[in-house]
């Protein structure tokens, strides 16, 4: 009996261990498959020509695979939508934190959490049928609604719920005694919130921003429906362009052979982008942790 | 902080202005988000019809293939991701002590998986299932790709609910002579079941909402109900994109309502469940 139990313990531990290693395995397989198919193509085209080539024309006789227009468009869209989304979202979180009737907070918070679950394709549909025509008719000097401007608006709204709830969590994690202390020193409620609580919640809010950047870089469906899709160098906010993700999605159903490898190579670039983002964030977090550890030690001694 | 003492009246006014700006921002956020929901509902509800929901696609556009496809994808991905995810979380919480190198590597791998954009998962699914395995576009390939995508979420939330189980329960079980595996299955998992179920519901929500992965793995064949798991197909989210970009705005609007209502119901269910669990665990304490 004892032997049987012992064997069962070992088998189950093995099963658990294998499952835990599955994540590592999956990551390795994904990386290997992507790089094995993408990197040779990049090498064949030339790293510089691929990353900094300004013409994407996979279907002509002498095909050209330059993804600089897509990289630039991705950076533009990400920057604009994150600035806009974080700007509005952070202030919304602050309003929910201190400046609105207590009764409102819980229901509003619940609603925002609910809205965080809206599928991106629905934001895309909204953008395509409302924002793009509106921008085209009233805001765009060229009359074109598609482009970086519309995409940034749609993405900014899409990342709002995430930013609001992460920032609010960060603010709530700051001990209330900070706030009370500031009030006791004669600060107004507003001063206490903006000068004491906000800086104290900085790292949590920053984590939310990184999350939002990751989501906007990787978002496909909402972007593809409002960005237009011409693989041209962006030289204006109201012109049809293409991001890295939309390049992959738009070409995937049509292209074959070398052109398809070019899409996979685009995926590799996107993958590396997000890896750099995640790793630098993890390093930053680690450094901060060590810093606080060190300062805690200093205080003790 | 030194500014606090020297804070003049002008400074106070500035901060008061900031406060007003906050309230405005709150209004803008709520307005934007509610506008999206209201627009989808108002615009789409009137366009839902029996033909669209359950009709034959050869007669008129229908989302029946998409409904079936979505259910298949949910089934496949949950069946794969939940056992692996839960077992993985059990190993991380019950068998390692937070400091081991293996633990750290697994944690980093899970975080990295969570950060990969969905279209990159789509490319991977395409390369491995469509090309390397030679399955072509298939529901099974799409489902497995989705399973890998939702795995990090399930691992993380299961981990949280396992950690939340009081240590005393485990020690009590050991004291009564239960083995580790028996303790895990009879004591720890039942106590954490609520949190795990909530995590699964949220994961279903993600599967239902996902579309970028599926373009590359199940092929967006909107007309036919998938004959088997190895056939290409479509999902609700994919149908919205298809309808919107191929000149069926009414069908897109109606499908959006179906998808939105479905996702909101899932989220409400998860929320309600979370509340019930909080209550019941609160009582046992």
Mark which residues 46-85 of A lie under 8 Å from B by CB.
none
φ, ψ for residue A56 (rounded to 5)? -115, 105
Query: CB under 8 Å to B138, separation ≥6 — which residues?
Result: B129, B130, B217, B218, B229, B230, B231, B232
Report which DSSP code applies to A117: T
**A35 pLDDT above the threshold of 90:** yes
**B274 pLDDT above the threshold of 50:** yes
* Dihedral sign from CA coordinates of B108, B114, B120, B125: positive
Q: Which of A12, A124, A182 sits opposite B181 (nearest CB)?
A: A12
**A294 pLDDT above the threshold of 80:** no
Indicate yes or no: CB of B95 within 8 angstroms of CB of A13. Answer: yes
Q: Is A287 on the interface with B (CB under 8 A)?
A: no
Indicate yes or no: CB of B211 within 8 angstroms of CB of A221. Answer: yes
CA A116 – CA A160 distance, rounded (Å): 8
Contact A42, A67 (CB under 8 A): no
Contact A266, A248 (CB under 8 A): yes
Contact B176, B234 (CB under 8 A): no
Predicted local confidence at residue B195, as pLDDT: 87
Please give, rounded to a whole number of angstroms, the shortest distance from the CA of B174 to a CA of chain A. Answer: 14
Predicted local confidence at residue A26, as pLDDT: 93
| ipTM for this prediction | 0.89
**A301 pLDDT above the threshold of 60:** no
* Dihedral sign from CA coordinates of A38, A42, A45, A49: positive
Q: Which of B30, B39, B205 sits opposite A126 (nearest CB)?
A: B39
Contacts of A220 in chain B (CB under 8 A): 117-119, 211-212
Mean pLDDT (whole number) for A62-89: 92
CA B268 to chain centre: 13
Indicate yes or no: CB of A24 within 8 angstroms of CB of B119. Answer: no
Please name the helix (run of DSSP H) or strand (run of DSSP E) that holds residue B9, with its range, or none.
Answer: helix B9-45
Predicted local confidence at residue A295, as pLDDT: 67
C-beta atoms surrounding A290 within 10 Å: 10
Query: CB under 8 Å to A129, separation ≥6 — which residues?
Result: B43, B244, B249, B253
Please name the helix (run of DSSP H) or strand (run of DSSP E) that holds residue B214, with its range, or none.
Answer: helix B212-217
pLDDT tier at A68 (50, 70, 90 boundaries)? very high
- Most A CBs within 10 A among B116, B126, B158, hence the mutation to make, goes to B116
Contacts of A223 in chain B (CB under 8 A): none
Exposure string for B215-239, b = 16+ CB within 10 A, e = fewer? bbbbbbbbeebbeebebbbbbbbbb
Contact B247, B253 (CB under 8 A): no
**B51 pLDDT above the threshold of 50:** yes
Quick: pLDDT tens for B93-133: 988 876 678 888 888 888 889 889 999 999 999 999 998 89
Identify which has the larger pLDDT, A122 or B15: A122
Predicted local confidence at residue B5, as pLDDT: 47
**A74 pLDDT above the threshold of 60:** yes
Average pLDDT, chain B: 87
Contact B92, B151 (CB under 8 A): no
Compare all CA atoms of chain A with the CA of B265 and give the residue at the minimum distance: A114
**B277 pLDDT above the threshold of 80:** no
Indicate yes or no: CB of A217 within 8 angstroms of CB of B117. Answer: yes
pLDDT tier at A78 (50, 70, 90 boundaries)? very high
Within 13 Å of residue B17, how many CA atoms lie on the same side as its CB? 6
CA B33 – CA B249 distance, rounded (Å): 21
Please name the helix (run of DSSP H) or strand (run of DSSP E) that holds residue B189, with its range, or none.
Answer: helix B189-209
pLDDT tier at A149 (50, 70, 90 boundaries)? very high
Contacts of B30 in chain A (CB under 8 A): 108, 111
Please give, rounded to a whole number of angstroms, the shortest distance from the CA of A298 to a CA of chain B. Answer: 22
Indicate yes or no: CB of B215 within 8 angstroms of CB of A253. Answer: yes
Written as one string, the DSSP assignment of A233-258 is ---STTS-B--HHHHHHHHHTT--HH
Written as one string, the DSSP assignment of B98-131 is S--HHHHHHHHHHHHHHHS-HHHHHHHHIIIIII
Indicate yes or no: CB of B91 within 8 angstroms of CB of A16. Answer: yes
- Most B CBs within 10 A among A7, A40, A114, A122, hence the mutation to make, goes to A122
Superfamily of domain A69-300, CATH level 4: MetI-like (1.10.3720.10)
CA A279 to chain centre: 14
Based on DSSP, count helices (H) and strands (E) in chain A, helices before strands: 14, 2
Q: Is A214 on the interface with B (CB under 8 A)?
A: yes
Query: CB under 8 Å to B110, separation ≥6 — which residues?
Result: A23, B151, B152, B155, B156
Q: Is A185 on the interface with B (CB under 8 A)?
A: yes
pLDDT tier at A245 (50, 70, 90 boundaries)? very high
pLDDT tier at A296 (50, 70, 90 boundaries)? low
Domain B50-284 in CATH 1.10.3720.10? The answer is: yes
CA A106 – CA A108 distance, rounded (Å): 6
Helix (H, G, I), strand (E, B) or coil at A57: strand
Comparing CA positions, the residue from B180, B197, B187 lying closest to residue B82 is: B197
Predicted local confidence at residue B77, as pLDDT: 96
Contacts of B37 in chain A (CB under 8 A): 115, 118
Q: Which of A23, A95, A196 sits opposite B110 (nearest CB)?
A: A23
pLDDT tier at B139 (50, 70, 90 boundaries)? very high
Of the ranges A141-145, B75-79, B131-135, which one carries the lowest mean pLDDT score? Answer: A141-145
CA A81 – CA B272 distance, rounded (Å): 32
Identify which has the larger pLDDT, A298 or A270: A270
Average pLDDT, chain A: 88
CA B21 – CA A241 distance, rounded (Å): 33
Contact A223, A77 (CB under 8 A): yes
């Amino acid at each position: 009996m004892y032997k049987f139990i012992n064997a069962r313990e070992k088998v189950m531990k093995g099963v658990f261990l294998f499952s835990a290693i599955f994540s590592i395995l999956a990551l390795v397989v994904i990386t290997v498959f992507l790089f094995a198919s993408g990197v040779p193509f990049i090498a064949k085209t030339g790293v510089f020509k691929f990353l900094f080539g300004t013409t994407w024309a996979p279907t002509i006789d002498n095909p050209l695979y330059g993804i600089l227009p897509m990289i630039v468009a991705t950076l533009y869209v990400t920057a604009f939508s994150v600035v806009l989304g974080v700007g509005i979202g952070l202030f919304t979180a602050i309003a929910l934190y201190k400046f609105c009737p207590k009764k409102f907070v819980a229901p509003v918070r619940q609603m925002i959490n609910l809205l965080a679950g809206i599928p991106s394709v629905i934001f895309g549909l909204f953008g395509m049928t409302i924002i793009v025509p509106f921008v085209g008719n009233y805001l765009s000097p060229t009359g074109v609604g598609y482009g970086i401007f519309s995409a940034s608006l749609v993405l900014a709204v899409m990342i709002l719920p995430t930013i609001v709830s992460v920032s609010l969590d960060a603010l709530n994690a700051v001990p209330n005694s900070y706030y009370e202390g500031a009030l006791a020193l004669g600060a107004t409620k507003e001063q206490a919130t903006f000068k004491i609580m906000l800086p104290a919640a900085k790292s949590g809010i920053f984590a939310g921003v990184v999350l939002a950047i990751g989501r906007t870089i990787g978002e496909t469906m909402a972007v593809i429906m409002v960005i237009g899709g011409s693989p041209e160098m962006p030289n204006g906010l109201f012109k049809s362009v293409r991001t890295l993700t939309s390049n992959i999605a738009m070409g995937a159903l049509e292209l074959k052979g070398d052109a398809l490898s070019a899409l996979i190579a685009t995926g590799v670039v996107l993958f590396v982008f997000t890896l750099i983002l995640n790793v630098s964030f993890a390093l930053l977090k680690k450094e901060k942790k060590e810093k606080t550890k060190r300062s805690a030690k200093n205080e003790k001694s | 902080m030194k500014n606090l003492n020297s804070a003049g009246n002008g400074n106070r006014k500035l901060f008061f202005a900031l406060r007003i700006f906050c309230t405005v921002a709150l209004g803008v956020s709520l307005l934007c988000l509610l506008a999206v929901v209201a627009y989808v509902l108002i615009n789409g509800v009137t366009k839902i019809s029996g033909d669209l929901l359950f009709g034959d696609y050869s007669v008129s556009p229908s989302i029946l293939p998409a409904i079936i496809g979505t259910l298949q994808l949910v089934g496949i991905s949950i069946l794969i991701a939940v056992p692996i995810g839960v077992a993985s979380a059990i190993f991380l919480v019950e068998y390692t002590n937070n400091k081991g190198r293996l633990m750290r590597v697994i944690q980093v791998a899970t975080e990295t998986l969570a950060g990969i954009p969905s279209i990159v998962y789509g490319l991977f699914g395409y390369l491995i299932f469509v090309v390397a395995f030679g399955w072509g576009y298939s529901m099974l390939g799409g489902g497995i790709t989705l399973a890998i995508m939702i795995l990090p979420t399930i691992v993380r939330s299961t981990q949280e609910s396992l950690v939340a189980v009081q240590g005393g329960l485990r020690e009590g079980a050991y004291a009564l002579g239960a083995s580790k595996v028996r303790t895990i299955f009879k004591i720890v998992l039942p106590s954490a079941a609520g949190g795990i179920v909530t995590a699964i519901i949220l994961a279903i929500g993600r599967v239902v909402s996902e579309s970028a992965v599926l373009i590359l793995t199940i092929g967006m064949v909107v007309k036919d109900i998938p004959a088997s798991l190895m056939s290409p197909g479509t999902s609700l989210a994919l149908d919205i994109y298809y309808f919107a970009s191929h000149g069926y705005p009414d069908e897109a609007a109606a499908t959006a309502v179906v998808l939105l209502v479905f996702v909101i119901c899932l989220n409400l269910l998860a929320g309600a469940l979370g509340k019930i669990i909080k209550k019941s665990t609160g009582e046992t304490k």
